[in-house]
């Protein structure tokens, strides 16, 4: 399972109360007729991501896909004739975006609920096997998802841990934690 993650924010003249319903409309339409291999999507509101404008409210769209082939289907489906209106509307409201691809490293419960994201990079002097051993106690918890960046695409850190509550992750390097406010869909888990 992989995730295409898209970070974006609205133009300064577009208030959040206008941006979010248009964004939700795009995701609603995409869910109605899913592209091949598309499992689900989720949108979070996040503050102060260093690889985006740290002074803006950032939206983080997670498109959960079966595999890399599904990424192509999503790319085509998101701008298909049936999606043109919703896609063009949110694109016209958006100021800037960046993306990344992540692979799910563990097997969390299917509908895990993420309220905090931990972004981290392996310390340069630590072998990957040792790094994974240090992360394993967190990744094995029932509601925790451990994502690893693929192909070094995107500006983010190399790893992301989605958790339902605060974790005490300590490594020799900086661990960036950010609260996630779920924007879409409302009242559901991941």
> Any idea which fold 2-184 has?
Alpha-Beta Plaits (3.30.70)
Cβ contact 71:22 at 8 Å? no
Average pLDDT over residues 37-58: 94
Residue 189: what pLDDT?
56
Q: Has residue 190 got a pLDDT over 80?
A: no
Instruction: Label the pairing between strands 94-104 and 2-10.
Output: antiparallel
Residue 108: what pLDDT?
82
Residue 187: what pLDDT?
60
Question: Can you give the residue ranges of every domain in the chain?
Answer: 2-184
Spatial distance between the Cα atoms of 133 and 126, rounded to a whole number of angstroms: 11
pLDDT tens digits, 101-110: 999 999 887 6
* Segments in the chain forming alpha helices (H): 16-32, 68-77, 84-93, 128-139
pTM: 0.94
pLDDT tens digits, 112-159: 889 999 999 999 999 999 999 999 999 999 899 999 999 988 899 999
Supply the mean pLDDT for the chain.
93
Q: What is the maximum span of the chain, computed from C-alpha positions, in angstroms?
A: 49
Residue 112's alpha-carbon distances to 5, 42, 107, 108, 163, in angstroms, are 17, 12, 10, 7, 8
């Amino acid at each position: 399972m992989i995730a295409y993650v898209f970070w974006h924010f609205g133009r300064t003249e577009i208030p959040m109360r206008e941006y979010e319903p248009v964004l939700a409309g795009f995701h609603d339409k995409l869910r109605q007729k899913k592209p091949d291999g598309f499992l689900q999507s989720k949108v979070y509101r996040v503050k102060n991501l260093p690889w985006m404008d740290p002074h803006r409210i950032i939206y983080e769209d997670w498109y959960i896909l079966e595999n890399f082939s599904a990424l192509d289907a999503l790319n085509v489906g998101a701008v298909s004739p049936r999606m043109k209106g919703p896609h063009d509307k949110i694109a016209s409201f958006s100021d800037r975006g960046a993306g990344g691809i992540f692979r799910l490293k563990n097997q969390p419960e299917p509908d895990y609920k993420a309220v905090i994201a931990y972004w981290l990079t392996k310390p340069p002097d630590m072998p990957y096997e040792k790094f994974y051993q240090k992360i394993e106690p967190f990744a094995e918890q029932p509601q925790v998802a451990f994502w690893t960046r693929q192909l070094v695409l995107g500006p983010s850190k190399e790893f992301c841990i989605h958790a339902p509550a605060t974790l005490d992750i300590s490594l020799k390097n900086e661990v960036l934690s950010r609260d996630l406010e779920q924007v879409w869909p409302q009242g559901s888990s991941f």
